Each structure stands twice: as C-alpha cells, then as structure tokens.
C-alpha cells in the first residue's frame, strides 16, 4: 500500500520578507535572478520586472518630494506676504493721532491689504468723553442694543467667527450698505485692563468667516487696537 503524498510546503511571505531583510547580500552574484523577477504593475494589468518597478517607485517618490517642496515654498511665500501686509498695517495704526484716525486707518488697511469689505469699532461712551466731536465711522459708540447683539454673536467667547444676519448687519455696521442676504463676521472683545469695546470684521459672503476658522488674526488686531485706544485717550 503506497503512502499518501506529503502536503506541499509553502513559504510564509512574512518569513521570506524577514529573511531577505536580514540578508541584504542575498542577490550579490545572483543579478540574473533580479532580472527574472516579475511584479504586478501598480497602474495597469500585467507584470513588469522588479528593476522597472523600482525605477517607477523612485520616480513617483521624486515627484511627491517635488510637490511637497513646492507646497512648502508656496506656504513660505504666502506667510511672507501676510507678514508684509500686517507690518504695513501696524505701521499705519501707530501713526494715528486720534481714535477716529485710528479706526479709519484700520478700515483702510483691512480693505486694501486683506480684502475685508467692512469693519466697525464699537467703544463705550466714556471713551468719547472730552473729545471735541462725536465719533466718526467706522468708530461707533457702544449702546445697550449694540452690546446685546455683540454679546450674542460672541456667545460667551473672547473671539469668534459667525454668521451675520441682515438685521445684525444694519445694527452693527450702520455706516455701510447691508447685503440682501446673511453674511459672516469675525468679532473679538477689546480689553486692556478694562473693557474697551468690540472689533467687528464683516463680509457679505457667508463663507468668508465660517465657525471653524481660526480667530488668531482678529484677536491680534484687537489686542493692538485696545492698547492704541488707551494710549490715545483718558486712560493713557
């Protein structure tokens, strides 16, 4: 009676990979074997030689590295442009001689350098005491109604991006033409030892300031404006 044939033994792929990794000199003297090896083509049906596959992988890695480098360079150019815009904005602000000039300078810089359609600087009435003339737009005197609307937009936060209804636009940006539909805004509270009001940036585009956006830029402008407001007024 003949014995049953032994089951065919196969090598475990992971063990083969581990063994080759431990013996990188295996193909020395076996270059012909490298040329005979065939691997699946990554994009089409069929097989290509191992050497062709290596060349293809190296080319793709080079293209990916080039793409990443171009992205880094583009980011660096964008950051440099933003830095220059912010630098010119701050220089214009520190040259302001009074609060109205300060607010107008900020509105001009935001419009020309950052394409911000509208802004308002809301300050409490006591900041206007002893001034020879009433505040001029975009500076506004903070009243109870505006405070209520601004507080609602902030929703308990120091700064925030949010939708801006047409009615809120009319209330909080009375010196500008309201859009037909709801827009968006970035708002930050001004403070330098005491409450100094609010800075509001607005756009008729509802996607310009979405809730997921970072508010670091708006907060930074708010911090600068708060300190300049105190320097130009009775708190200095």
- pLDDT tens digits for range 14-64: 887 788 788 878 777 776 776 677 777 767 777 777 677 778 888 889 999
Q: Strands 159-164 and 183-191, how do they pair?
A: antiparallel
* Nearest-angstrom CA–CA distance, 186 and 1: 90
Q: Tell me: pLDDT of 216 over 90.
A: yes
Q: What are φ and ψ of residue 23, in 5° steps?
A: -130, 70
Give pLDDT tens digits for 121-142. 999 988 777 777 889 999 999 9
Task: Give bridge partners of residue 123 from the DSSP assignment.
Answer: 141
Give the number of other Cβ atoms within 10 Å of residue 67's Cβ.
Answer: 10
Percent of the chain predicted with pLDDT > 70: 90
Q: Residue 122: which of 70, 195, 56, 51 has the closest Cα?
A: 195
| Across 1-10, 164-173, 210-219, least confident range | 1-10
Calculate ∠ Cα 214-218-223, nearest 5°: 130
Omega within 30 of 0 (cis) for the link into 112: no
Picking from 57, 32, 29, the residue whose alpha carbon sits closest to that of residue 43 is: 57
Beta partners for residue 186, in sequence order: 161, 201
Tell which residue, 235, 221, 190, has the closest CA to residue 93. Answer: 221
Q: Rounded to an integer, what distance in angstroms lies between the CA atom of residue 227 and that of residue 232?
A: 9
pTM above 0.95, yes or no: no
Q: Are 182 and 166 in contact (CB under 8 A)?
A: yes
Q: What band does 236 get if pLDDT is binned at 50, 70 and 90?
A: very low
Strand partners, 74: none
Q: Residue with structure tokens 């009775």? A: 234
Q: 53-96 pLDDT, tens per residue?
A: 778 888 889 999 999 999 999 999 988 999 999 999 999 999 99
């Amino acid at each position: 009676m003949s014995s049953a044939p032994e089951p065919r033994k196969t090598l475990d792929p992971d063990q083969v990979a581990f063994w080759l990794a431990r013996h990188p000199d295996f193909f020395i003297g076996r270059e012909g074997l490298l040329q005979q090896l065939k691997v699946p083509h990554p994009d089409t049906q069929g097989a290509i030689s191992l050497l062709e596959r290596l060349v293809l992988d190296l080319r793709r890695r080079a293209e990916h590295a080039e793409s990443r480098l171009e992205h880094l360079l583009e980011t660096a150019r964008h950051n440099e442009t933003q830095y220059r815009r912010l630098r010119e904005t701050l220089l214009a602000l520190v040259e302001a001689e009074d609060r109205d000039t300060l607010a107008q300078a900020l509105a001009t810089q935001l419009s020309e350098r950052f394409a911000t359609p509208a802004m308002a600087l809301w300050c409490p009435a006591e900041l206007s005491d002893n001034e020879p003339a009433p505040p001029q737009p975009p500076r506004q005197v903070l009243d109870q109604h505006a405070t209520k609307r601004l507080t609602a937009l902030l929703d308990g936060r120091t700064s925030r991006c949010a939708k801006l209804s047409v009615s809120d636009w009319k209330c909080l940006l009375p010196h500008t033409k309201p859009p037909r539909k709801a827009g968006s805004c970035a708002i930050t509270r001004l403070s330098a030892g005491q409450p100094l009001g609010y800075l509001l940036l607005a756009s008729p585009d509802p996607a310009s300031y979405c809730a997921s956006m970072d508010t670091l830029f708006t907060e930074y402008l708010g911090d600068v404006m708060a300190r300049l407001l105190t320097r130009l007024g009775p708190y200095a």
